[in-house]
Chains A and B, each alone.
Chain A
């Protein structure tokens, strides 16, 4: 289990040597620093906390500064935890660079999806809406029935409907690493990644590879 934090740069296309083209997402990943090591004995589970992206000291609170000082790492904007099977092999202040991953490896990428606001059922769940013709009015994007009547007398919890869409944590599994360049802090994965360009993403070894 390996992981790194990064910022989504955008999508482009890469040609391989045979001339085939692949859609890839470019991620500016790392360098990350280990800011805390959590062990089964002391914390109840194994994990490392990693920080990413240097930032001016005035942008952080005293609590954050003190925490980072303990690990003797630069001032970092983001701090995230990565659960591990074992904390062994990681020490405070360790640097994680893009080359923790190799080309061809499968990874899961987690990000915060683009927010769509309060969306109707047609956009959010792919409801078909009502008929467009035959005398319909105000029914074109209606969700239809939400359930039976007097019995049971209420809408079942979890029924699909309108509501907040996007702006939520999303993980895309099993994306192939297409390109790694530790010098430029670059990782490119084949396929799309949640969130807007410049959004924070977490890249981890695929859980279900």
Chain B
């Protein structure tokens, strides 16, 4: 963003969103409004893609393996106001930005290696 006016309109990131990267296992807490009731739905899986950078239209895709080994992917807008928070459960070492190869894998070959942190 080049213009200060435009930059001032940049939406705020939901809680915990700043830390997520491709390869992370995350829990996305989504607010769902049904009539008058509001509840939180959790979607847990691996972030396999983040696109759009810091653009207001940016999004990320979370993949989880559902029952009977069926893959389920959901794409969320990065700046969505319906996301209550995002928890990062695990960070892994990955060598590409889009982990679409996970779609073709299951079981052992779909594992990702955890990142080791050096505490400063």
Residue A21 at the chain B interface, CB threshold 8 Å: yes
- Give how many B residues have a beta carbon under 8 Å from the other chain's beta carbons: 13
Q: Which residue of A lies closest to B80 (CB)?
A: A19
Pairs of residues from A and B, 9 with the lowest C-beta to C-beta distance, nearest first: A13-B56, A19-B82, A19-B81, A15-B81, A9-B5, A9-B3, A13-B57, A12-B56, A15-B11
Residue A186 at the chain B interface, CB threshold 8 Å: yes
Residue A199 at the chain B interface, CB threshold 8 Å: no
A14 to B9 Cα, complex, angstroms = 8
Partner of B9, one of A18, A19, A21, A188: A188
Residues facing B in A172-194 (CB within 8 A) are 179, 184, 186, 188
A21 to B8 Cα, complex, angstroms = 17
Residue A26 at the chain B interface, CB threshold 8 Å: yes
Residue A28 at the chain B interface, CB threshold 8 Å: yes
A137 to B77 Cα, complex, angstroms = 48
A19 to B38 Cα, complex, angstroms = 14
CB distance from A96 to the nearest CB of B (A): 18
A179 proximity list for chain B (CB < 8 A): 9
Residue A10 at the chain B interface, CB threshold 8 Å: yes
CB distance from A20 to the nearest CB of B (A): 9
A-B contact list, 15 entries, CB within 8 Å: A9-B5, A9-B6, A12-B6, A12-B9, A13-B56, A14-B9, A15-B79, A15-B81, A21-B56, A21-B77, A26-B5, A26-B6, A184-B5, A186-B5, A188-B9
A26 touches B80 (CB 8 A): no
A45 to B67 Cα, complex, angstroms = 74
CB distance from B37 to the nearest CB of A (A): 15
CB distance from B10 to the nearest CB of A (A): 8
A12 to B3 Cα, complex, angstroms = 12
Q: A19-B81, A19-B82, A21-B77 are in contact. List 5 more A-B contacts (CB 8 A).
A: A9-B6, A10-B3, A14-B9, A15-B80, A26-B9
Residue A41 at the chain B interface, CB threshold 8 Å: no
B79 proximity list for chain A (CB < 8 A): 15
A186 proximity list for chain B (CB < 8 A): 5
Which of A9, A14, A179 has the most CB atoms of chain B within a 10 A radius of its CB? A9
Residues facing A in B73-111 (CB within 8 A) are 77, 79-82
A12 to B11 Cα, complex, angstroms = 11
A17 to B38 Cα, complex, angstroms = 14
CB distance from A86 to the nearest CB of B (A): 34
A12 to B57 Cα, complex, angstroms = 8
B5 proximity list for chain A (CB < 8 A): 9, 26, 28, 184, 186
A19 proximity list for chain B (CB < 8 A): 80-82
CB distance from A25 to the nearest CB of B (A): 11
A28 proximity list for chain B (CB < 8 A): 5
Give a binary string over A21-61; 1 marks a CB under 8 Å from any B CB, 0 the rest.
10000101000000000000000000000000000000000
